[in-house]
Amino acid sequence: MQFNDIEQIKKEFGVNAASLDEVRKQLKRLLKEVHPDMNHGKFPSQEQEKKYHEIKDAINFIDEQRSTDTSLMIRSEVQELLQLIREVVPKTSQVDSEKKLSELIDNDIKLFKIKHKFPKITTAAISVVLSALWLFPNTIKEHPILSRLIDLQSPIFAGFWLSSLIVTASYWLIAAFQEHREEQSKKYLKLETVQNQIFRDFLRFKNHGQKNDAANNILKFDKDDLISYIKNFERIENPIYGISEKLTTALERNVKLHYRAGHIDTELAQSLADTMVQRGLVKGIIEKESKKSLTDIYLVKIDNADLD
């Protein structure tokens, strides 16, 4: 007998159960009652033999349904897992790129300060030595060699000592100013708002000299272009702004001011580019082109009104 659904089976055999497992258990009990083994291996009647085969058909139908439901469940769970992976991987990549960017910026700040460390120590040491000689003149007078070479009463020594103090103080002030400016400019690059503005400027720059997909207003760019733009930002004559034209918003002015203050090497530029691209991928405004190439190529749907 052919069955089309579980309700048909329940009605046919008078089974009252909610789950497939319970329906199957009750059918197994009915099958045992009409099994030929209950009558020395023979069916007592044709009706009982027919009922036996009908129950077996019903059980087989239920087994097929359970197998199908399990496959569908597994397929659904796999699809959900894949979707979860597609959502989590870009976010994880974004977190990793932001963490790497932060570490690079902090390291750049430390290296910049180390660059000034030796000159600061050297100038300070010279000033300290000259000041000690000035404060303790007897040390020079009692020394057989230094007393002949150094005359503490000479205006030349006084001028040299004062000059060393002025140079030391000036260098320390200039170094402190430069270190502060470098630290602020590099930390400024960590801000998402600043990164978004730089990326928007890059899109303006690309949009000006590139023919886009007129139908979808799609702009294509590769990561190397973005890295090069970030590295040479202050040297690019932006055709949108002009080289001397003032930017229209306070944010843009601040971005230009702080961004130009710090030097951007290739590694930092690449990390910045990775962070911007990953954020765009997570937010769904950037798509990676499937075409194979040496550098990653991306597509971004732009609104010219936002770029003007």
Three-class secondary structure of residue 216 per DSSP: coil
Give the model's pLDDT for residue 257: 46
* % of the chain with per-residue pLDDT over 70: 71
**Res. 173 pLDDT band, cuts 50 70 90:** very high
Lowest mean pLDDT among 120-124, 172-176, 179-183: 179-183
What is the C-alpha separation between 90 and 87, in angstroms, rounded?
Answer: 6
**Res. 172 pLDDT band, cuts 50 70 90:** very high
Domain boundaries, the chain: 6-80, 189-308
Q: Do the Cβ atoms of 65 and 20 come closer than 8 Å?
A: yes
pLDDT in tens, 286-298: 888 877 777 888 8
CA angle (235, 237, 240) in 5-degree steps: 140
Angle between helices 46-135 and 266-283 (to 10 degrees): 150
Tokens at 20, concatenated: 């497939």
Judge whether residue 285 has pLDDT over 60.
yes
DSSP annotation string for 97-128? HHHHHHHHHHHHHHHHHHHHHHHHHHHHHHHH
pLDDT in tens, 56-77: 888 888 788 776 655 445 555 5
Sign of the Cα pseudo-torsion (257, 262, 264, 270, in order): negative
* Of 118, 19, 12, residue with least CA distance to 65: 19
Residue 266: other Cβ atoms inside 10 A: 11
Q: Do the Cβ atoms of 101 and 190 come closer than 8 Å?
A: yes
CA-to-CA dists, residue 302 to 164, 218, 241, 289, angstroms = 58, 6, 19, 16
Instruction: Kindly report the average pLDDT of the chain as a whole number.
Output: 75
Q: Do the Cβ atoms of 306 and 229 come closer than 8 Å?
A: no
Q: Do the Cβ atoms of 272 and 189 come closer than 8 Å?
A: yes
What is the C-alpha separation between 19 and 26, in angstroms, rounded?
Answer: 11
User: What are the backbone angles phi and psi of residue 249, rounded to the nearest 5°?
Assistant: -120, 160
User: What are the backbone angles phi and psi of residue 24, rounded to the nearest 5°?
Assistant: -65, -40
Give the model's pLDDT for residue 9: 79
* Of 55, 47, 50, residue with least CA distance to 9: 55
Lowest mean pLDDT among 84-88, 121-125, 170-174, 302-306: 84-88
pTM: 0.54
pLDDT in tens, 184-210: 888 888 888 888 888 888 888 887 755
pLDDT in tens, 23-60: 888 888 887 888 877 777 777 788 888 888 888 888 88
CA angle (306, 229, 304) in 5-degree steps: 15
**Higher pLDDT among residues 246 and 221, named by residue:** 221
**Res. 241 pLDDT band, cuts 50 70 90:** very low
Give the CA radius of gyration of the chain. 40
